[in-house]
Amino acid sequence: MTLSGVARVAFVGSRRIFASHLPSMQSYTPAFSRQMSVGMKSVTDRLRDSGLLRTQGLIGGKWIDAYDGKTLEVHNPATGEVIANVSCMGGKETKDAISSAFDAFNSWSKLTAAERSKGLRKWYDLLMAHKEELGQLITLEQGKPLKEAVGEVDYGAKFIEFYAEEAKRVYGEIIPATLPDRRLFVLKQPVGVAGAITPWNFPLAMITRKVGPALACGCTVVVKPSEFTPLTALAAAELALQAGIPPGVVNVVMGNAPDIGDALLTSPQVRKITFTGSTAVGKKLMAGAAGTVKKVSLELGGNAPCIVFDDADLNVAVNGALAAKFRNSGQTCVCANRVLVQEGIYEKFADAFSKAVKNLKVGDGFGEGVVQGPLINKAALEKVETFVEDAVSKGAKVLLGGRRHSLGMTFYEPTVLSNVKSEMLVSREEVFGPVAPLLCFKTEEEAIHMANDTNAGLAAYIFTNNLQRTWRVSEALEYGLVGVNEGLISTEVAPFGGVKQSGLGREGSKYGMDEFLEIKYVCLGDMNRK
Ligand code: NAP
């Protein structure tokens, strides 16, 4: 499709109007557009041939249109082109998805752990067998570079593999009784139907991190992916069906987020809400879940400090900060949002870091050597611009970048700001873009105070070669995750989650299972009766 064929007016029912999120046509480079149109067509053709380009919702094992026939455009953020039109669903479809999940719960929860494990393992195998196509789909709808997208498939699939194994380890307990004729047991049982609402920045991994443990425990799910990235979710659901996971165990609805959210929140059949996304929406969901007293886990926004001490290894700190900041163009909840650098190493670090950032190649995620893709939409681009303008107006200095990229669309130059202060917007809130603000500190105490001076508490990073400091600072940081001399710390085997307003509960690792289990105490009395 050429640019002139791109439909710019789209679905208006929900909170977003796509057309207004696309940059003006003037900012678009025509030659770039033609090149990518050809590329996109062959990628979508291949995906269609492999049966992975699904556009309908999945309810009770059947692919279904929205009941009123409405559709929603999914765009490639690198080009603005429409990749596909997907069903735009709402409350009615969600209620039916809940009913099918509720029915399926009866049989799925009664399977042996080994049977559930086999289904999950097969799903993992299929995700890995289609790693390349799924990676291409992520790049198409989300924009991240292909290598990073394929890496997300690896990471996302591993949650399914891990929980296929963990399914067999849901142990209960026998408690020593207080009376001789009694026996006391603790059983762990699946909580029931879970509603899983996920964001656009990890279109696969944020789903598998929830659905993997849910299914392993015996729960069934209704998944609501982001309106920006539903295609990866639908492809993953198709592979779940192919893996033999029974109809109704995994359902997917997308479209009008508030309506879908309301249906999930108000249904007494939904016993668990698991959400990853912004803190603002997370708070609404938490309040909404109170009506039916559901179990809730929330993975919300961060404001990660990345603290570089004078005694750090400069190369390790530069590479770690680079990875922590610029992955996914700065659009992850664990991205370093503030780089706090001690005064003795500040100039050297700023210089080496800026040089490294200058080498980051920006472009369409399918381009050779590209490590920085576009931002997800125009609103994200404008947010980054506002934050940079605010910082500069209050005295920050632009060391590198600081403006829209010449590629147009939603591309933004990888940016380094120095002389940043705690009161600037870039320090207070998640910038969610490729902007690294450098703040200077003098002492360890000051760094800890600056790092903790936020309502967020998801990830933090420290770079130091001092062992005692590593322990002291790790313990003092009010964060759920701490990386020491390392900028990439997420893995399926470790617990992931935030403190303060970054969330509730943990995903990944054995702890991720607890979010989908209820504990039942059984007291067997009068056991000596013959
Ligand atoms: P978002 O706007 O909160 O959206 C997340 C999901 O919630 C989407 O599926 C969205 O649907 C849905 N949603 C929005 N309003 C809703 C409502 N009233 N009821 C029910 N669902 C609703 O967040 P985002 O912009 O997609 O993602 C970025 C945010 O996620 C950042 O703050 C980031 O830090 C956070 N995040 C956190 C983690 C973590 O593990 N802590 C991981 C990744 C991202 P639509 O898109 O269809 O509107």
Residue 288 alpha carbon, nearest atom of ligand 1: 19
Q: Residue whose CA is closest, atom 22 of ligand 1?
A: 257
Ligand 1 pocket check for 333: Cβ under 6 Å: yes
Q: Whose CA is nearest to atom 23 of ligand 1?
A: 277
Per-residue tokens: 381: 């681009």
Amino acid letter for position 337: N
Give the span between the Cα atoms of 54 and 231, in whole angstroms.
7
Say how many Å lie between the CA of residue 198 and the centre of ligand 1. Answer: 6
Residue nearest to atom 40 of ligand 1 (CA): 299
Would you tell me how many other CB atoms lie within 10 Å of the CB of residue 217? 27
What is the DSSP track for 235-297?
A: HHHHHHHHTTPPTTTEEE--B-HHHHHHHHHH-TTEEEEEEES-HHHHHHHHHHHGGGT-EEE
Distance from the alpha carbon of residue 521 to the mean position of ligand 1, in angstroms: 36
pLDDT reported for residue 2: 28
82 to 32, 34, 373: CA distances (angstroms): 16, 14, 17
Which of 197, 381, 429 should be mutated for ligand 1, with most atoms under 8 A from CB? Answer: 197
Closest by CA position to 241, among listed 66, 105, 110, 52: 52
User: With DSSP H G I counted as helix, E B as strand and the rest as coil, what are the percentages for the chain, rounded to 5?
Assistant: 45, 20, 35
CA dihedral sign, ordered 157, 160, 166, 170:
positive
User: CB–CB of 139/149 below 8 Å?
Assistant: yes
Q: What is the pLDDT of residue 39?
A: 66
Q: Is 414 in the pocket of ligand 1 (CB under 6 A)?
A: no
Ligand 1 proximity of 59 Cβ (cutoff 6 Å): no
From the candidates 93, 227, 299, 507, which is the catalytic residue? 299
Look-up of token digits 């049966």: 51
Query: How far is it, in rounded angstroms, from Cα 371 to Cα 360?
Result: 6
Locate tokens 């429409």: which residue? 82
Please tell me the predicted confidence (pLDDT) of residue 46.
86
- Distance, CA 156 to ligand 1 centroid (Å)? 18
Which atom of ligand 1 is the closest one to the Cα of 458?
A: 41
What pLDDT shows up at residue 529? 83
Ligand 1 pocket residue status of 503, Cβ below 6 Å:
yes
- The SS3 assignment for 507 reads strand
Dihedral sign of CA atoms 220, 284, 496, 411 in order: positive
Among residues 217, 219, 306, 333, the one annotated as catalytic is: 333
For residues 104 and 269, give the distance between their C-alpha atoms in angstroms, rounded to a whole number: 12
The sign of the torsion formed by the CA atoms of 127, 132, 134, 135 equals positive
In whole angstroms, give the CA distance from residue 512 to residue 496.
Answer: 8
> Rounded to an integer, what is the distance from CA 381 to the centroid of its chain?
19
Pocket-testing residue among 278, 329, 479, ligand 1, by greatest number of atoms within 8 A of Cβ: 278
**Residue 465, Cβ neighbours under 10 Å: how many?**
13
| CA–CA dist 460, 103 (Å, integer) | 42
Q: In this structure, are strands 193-197 and 304-308 parallel, antiparallel, or unpaired?
A: unpaired
**Ligand 1 atom at minimum distance from 498 CA:** 41
Name the helix (H) or strand (E) containing 183: strand 183-190
> Which of 300, 330, 302, 68 lies closest to 206 in space, CA to CA?
300
Calculate helix-pair angle for 146-166, 205-217, nearest 10 degrees.
10
Backbone angles phi, psi at 474, to 5 degrees: -55, -40
Tokens 């639908």 found at: 234
Any atom of ligand 1 within 6 Å of the Cβ of 458: yes
Residue with tokens 């989908």: 516
User: Whole-angstrom Cα distance, residue 488 to residue 482?
Assistant: 10
Q: Which of 333, 378, 455 has the most ligand 1 atoms within 8 A of CB, as the residue to mutate?
A: 333
φ, ψ (nearest 5 deg) of residue 459? -115, 150
* 299 assigned to active site: yes
The total of other beta-carbon atoms located within 10 Å of residue 415's CB is: 25
Record the tokens describing residue 273, joined without a space. Answer: 């809400």
Report how far residue 297's alpha carbon sits from residue 345's, in angstroms, rounded to the nearest whole number.
40
The pTM score is 0.93
Rounded CA-CA distance 163/157 in Å is 10
Q: What type of residue is 515?
A: E
Distance of alpha carbon 448 from alpha carbon 465, whole angstroms: 17
DSSP state of 406: T
Per-residue pLDDT tens over the stretch 452-478: 999 999 999 999 999 999 999 999 999
CB 57 less than 6 A from any atom of ligand 1: no
The 3-state DSSP class for residue 187 equals: strand
Largest CA distance in the chain: 88
* Matching residue, tokens 């759920």: 480
Could you give the residue ranges of the DSSP H alpha helices within 359-432?
378-393, 425-428
| Residue 44: per-residue pLDDT | 86
Per-10-residue mean pLDDT, the chain, length 530: 30 34 36 48 85 97 98 97 97 98 98 98 98 97 98 98 98 96 97 98 98 98 98 98 98 98 98 98 98 98 98 98 98 98 98 98 97 98 98 98 98 98 97 98 98 98 98 98 98 98 98 98 91
- Give residues with Cβ within 8 angstroms of 35, minimum separation 6: none
Most ligand 1 atoms within 8 A of CB, residue of 201, 286, 387, 499 to mutate: 201
Q: Is 306 a catalytic residue?
A: no
The pair of structure tokens assigned to 25 is 């046509």
